[in-house]
């Protein structure tokens, strides 16, 4: 394993490692306005949600590594204390990327990217009409993390109104992740399309799962079952009863299977989410 202390790396190199390793990251498509009323639009992937009560989003326009200058978004946020954070889906990812071009101050990135300015209800910056979810925010605080190139500036935003396109809602009024079709940022020029890689993991039981440590030794030390497989097996409140296993055996004759065969069959069942049957195979 190659190891470094941050102080021993050039900032640009460290920056590259951080962005490639901490990924994928959600994108804040931040709309601001300068003190003269000129709109600005720029994407930032140092971004996430940090609180629901109050509703807080934080994004960070870092100082440029190459020349230690600051971005118009940060300057506007400092002077007006308002921002709209628009989410980025696959339909607008190319326009979002185009808007990241470092145009001169006062240039309207909405126009450059071909995106539509939509008047906000509470704050002055415009929303992006094409974005499926838009958060109007007041800026509570800006925390400067340093004064050198690469230093972040945490813009702590409180959501004062949110807008959700009905097209991305399901019948219960919740956001449908497939319909939302978000994209995220990784290192270099890489992005990720969320819905292309969705998978579900059952949440741990509200009661206590037995845990991997409680698995029979031959299962815990399997050369076939992976750590993920063991995690699924450990996320049960109790093992199947002997009676349930016997019923299973009566329907599925596994007598000719070796232990490795049973582990492979259980692994296949786990890949389809059938933890209960996987356990019965292992205990048969």
Q: Give the pLDDT confidence score for residue 155 in this predicted structure.
A: 98
Instruction: State if pTM tops 0.75.
Output: yes
Is residue 193 in a domain? Answer: yes
* Average pLDDT for 138-167: 96
DSSP SS3 for 164: strand
Token pair listed for 148: 């050198």
pLDDT above 70: residue 173 = yes
Residues 46 and 177 in one domain: yes
Percent of the chain with pLDDT over 90: 59
Beta bridge partners of 29: 43, 86
DSSP string spanning 189-215? Answer: T-EEEGGGG----PPPPSSPP--GGGS
* Average pLDDT for 163-188: 95
Residues 227 and 114 in one domain: no
The least confident of 116-120, 166-170, 235-239 is 235-239
Token pair listed for 1: 């394993």
Q: How confident is the model at residue 209 (pLDDT cuts 50, 70, 90)?
A: confident
Total tally of structural domains belonging to the chain? 2
* Average pLDDT for 221-240: 89
DSSP SS3 for 157: strand
Domain that holds residue 275: 212-283
């Amino acid at each position: 394993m190659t190891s470094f202390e941050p102080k021993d790396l050039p900032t640009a190199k460290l920056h590259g490692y951080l962005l490639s390793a901490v990924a994928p990251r959600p994108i804040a498509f931040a709309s601001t306005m300068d003190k003269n009323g000129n709109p600005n639009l720029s994407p930032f992937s140092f971004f996430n949600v940090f609180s629901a009560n109050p509703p807080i989003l934080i994004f960070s326009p870092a100082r440029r590594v190459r020349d230690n200058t600051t971005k118009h978004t940060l300057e506007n946020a400092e002077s007006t204390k308002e921002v709209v954070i628009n989410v980025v889906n696959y339909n607008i990812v190319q326009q979002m990327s185009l808007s990241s071009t470092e145009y001169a101050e006062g240039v309207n990135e909405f126009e450059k990217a071909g995106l539509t300015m939509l008047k906000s209800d509470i704050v002055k910056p415009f929303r992006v009409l094409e974005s499926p979810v838009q958060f109007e925010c007041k800026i509570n605080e800006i925390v400067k993390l340093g004064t050198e190139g690469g230093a972040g500036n945490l813009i702590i935003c409180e959501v004062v109104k949110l807008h959700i396109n009905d097209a991305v809602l399901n019948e219960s009024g919740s956001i449908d992740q497939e319909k939302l079709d978000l994209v995220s940022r990784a290192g270099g020029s890489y992005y990720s399309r969320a819905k292309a890689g969705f998978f579900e993991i059952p949440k741990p039981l509200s009661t206590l799962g037995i845990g991997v440590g409680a698995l029979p030794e031959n299962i815990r030390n399997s050369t076939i079952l992976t750590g993920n497989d063991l995690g699924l097996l450990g996320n049960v409140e109790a093992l199947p009863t002997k009676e349930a296993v016997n019923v299973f055996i009566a329907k599925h004759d596994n007598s000719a299977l070796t232990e490795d065969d049973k582990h492979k069959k259980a692994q296949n069942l786990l890949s389809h989410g059938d933890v209960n049957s996987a356990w019965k195979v292992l205990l048969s």
